[in-house]
Amino acid sequence: MKRALLYMVLCLLTVCSCRPSAKHFSATVDVPVVPVLAFRPTNKIAQLDLVNHGAMPYTVKSMKVMLKGTHNLSDITKVSVYQNDRELGFVVPETGKNRHTVTVDLNLPVNTDSLSLDIHMTLKDTIDLSNRILLEKVIINTSEGTVTITPRSPAELRVGIALRQKMQDGVHTSRIPGLTTTTKGTLIALYDARWERERDLQGDIDICINRSTDGGKTWSPMQKVLDMGNWGSLPERYNGVSDGCILTDENTGHLYVTGLWMHGILDPENGKWVKNLNETSTEWNHQWRSFGSQPGYDVKQSSQFLIAKSEDDGLTWSDPVNITRQVKPESWWLMAPAPGHGITLEDGTLVFPAEGRTDTGLQISTIIYSKDGGTNWQPGNPAYTNTNECMAVQLSDGSVMLNMRERSNRGRLEGNGRAVAVTKNLGNTWSEHPTSRNALIEPACMASLHKHTYVNQNGDKQDLLFFFNPDSKTTRNNFTLKCSPNDGLTWPDALWTLIDQNNGNGYSCITSVDNDTIGVLYEGSGADLIFMTIEIEEIIKRL
């Protein structure tokens, strides 16, 4: 009898000490396609949803995050778990230990059947830009059992630099990116420094740059290039310069930055210059609105086209030169830089994309060009109407392609597509490209276009066109890099790369970092301006 009783007690103890079953849990982990950014205090990389169909309440003891497949684990300085934007726990991976698996202690009491937790990650400031973060699986240890979850859509998350963030350097918002690579290999990132608010001109806005001499890993402090200060005794909020574009002269190494300057404002009711503006004035108008810019050349009639030059790799810049009279027909309402970067043609001609309003106020896209090394500039004729922001590339036959934001695409689901035109005579005449209005969709937003000449290990050259924009007809999200191997005749789906699925302002610019790498600066979901790199081999191996 005693032996039987002892046997029953041992069996009961054995059952009670067994790991509880987790069959009554259901769980999912979603990994959004967004870059993980250096210089951000935290980046959300996944959302975990856990449903308990069993006993309540219970405790989430810990979360094990498995990062097998991540290229460079040493870039990660912290892994955290959040609930409703509140950090519940974190772990700092220890140097020299296996970083593929980290465990975050939580001891979180749960009184509801549904629980949503976010996994966050922090990177060190100087990172390997080719790194990829891969979340293999998550293991949740609870008082009711252990739950192992594999992401529903595994994704390699790219890393990048949060180059410009809200209120950085006292700047409210940084917008309108430009990007170029100098003949010395320096990267120069260009942008609007909007000091007081996010709004477009008119406002206290300067055009500024950051420089990188190591391929985008580190960047110099912000530097002003176009700043009109208190010109004409008006406050800076009535001397804004915006919509910059940057160009590298591939022959001389000189750099050029253009920008649009507004002095004061024109009355939106009648187009007359508003007098007696001061620091407390609230009047506002914009060059693309109503009577925001008018025929004529005077600063009190029309917005002004400025250009500055650097002869020392962007370290110092000249005072701005006003070229409005060179590039704007007097009867036109406006001629303005189109944001992004310009190009140097094979014969040395310098070309900037441009946008404007004709003598009837109609919006157009075109180019301006210089055949004497940037001393004198001339405008082309309109390439298309009801368009504005645009970018140019030189095709293999020597012609110039202009890819344009088509304003009627806003909200258009049928017939949505960017306008594309080609010129063989520097914009004197244009012909519509076969892909115009039918190949590259948009939500009516600026987009970037860039030609990269890739040389493989055998010394063979291949020209690739790269295009970046929000791949959506309605919303500025799903930021996607697309590649054309045939001068823009086709943009095969296989050569598309989703970079950032979430919302952002959407403007961008692309440059060739080196033979094997392109860089993208864009207005994304995680920062005002994000810089990241993409390896050419990653793209062409899909051909």
pLDDT per position as a tens digit, 217-259: 999 999 999 999 999 999 999 999 999 999 999 999 999 999 9
pLDDT at 22: 64
Give pTM, 2 decimals: 0.95
Could you tell me which residues are beta bridge partners of residue 387? 406
pLDDT at 106 over 50: yes
pLDDT at 3 over 70: no
For the residues 369-385, what does the mean pLDDT come to? 98
For the residues 140-144, what does the mean pLDDT come to? 95
- C-alpha distances out from residue 187 to 35, 119, 221, 439, 529, Å: 20, 33, 13, 30, 15
Mean pLDDT, the chain, as a whole number? Answer: 94
- C-alpha distances out from residue 420 to 286, 361, 404, Å: 27, 21, 6
pLDDT per position as a tens digit, 41-51: 999 999 999 99
Cα–Cα–Cα angle for 33, 39, 44, rounded to 5 degrees:
35
Structure tokens at 18: 């067994």
pLDDT at 9: 35
Q: How confident is the model at residue 96 (pLDDT cuts 50, 70, 90)?
A: low
Report the Cα–Cα distance between both ends of the chain, in Å, rounded.
Answer: 79
pLDDT at 55: 84
Residue 143, classified by CB atoms within 10 Å of its CB into exposed (0-12), middle (13-18) or buried (19+), is: middle
Give me the phi and psi of 186, to 5 degrees please: -75, 135
- Return d(Cα 372, Cα 342) in angstroms, integer: 16
pLDDT per position as a tens digit, 23-75: 789 999 999 999 999 999 999 999 999 999 988 899 999 999 999 989 999 99
pLDDT per position as a tens digit, 309-361: 999 999 999 999 999 999 999 999 999 999 999 999 999 999 999 999 999 99
pLDDT at 447: 98
pLDDT, greater one: 96 or 500: 500
- Give the three-state DSSP class for 252: coil
Residue 270, classified by CB atoms within 10 Å of its CB into exposed (0-12), middle (13-18) or buried (19+), is: exposed
Structure tokens at 168: 């950085």
pLDDT at 10 over 60: no
Structure tokens at 261: 């300057």
- Return d(Cα 120, Cα 65) in angstroms, integer: 11
pLDDT at 248: 99
CB count within 10 Å of CB 277 equals 20
For the residues 289-303, what does the mean pLDDT come to? 96
- Return d(Cα 401, Cα 384) in angstroms, integer: 12
Active site positions, annotated? 389
pLDDT at 93: 87
pLDDT per position as a tens digit, 398-414: 999 999 999 999 989 99
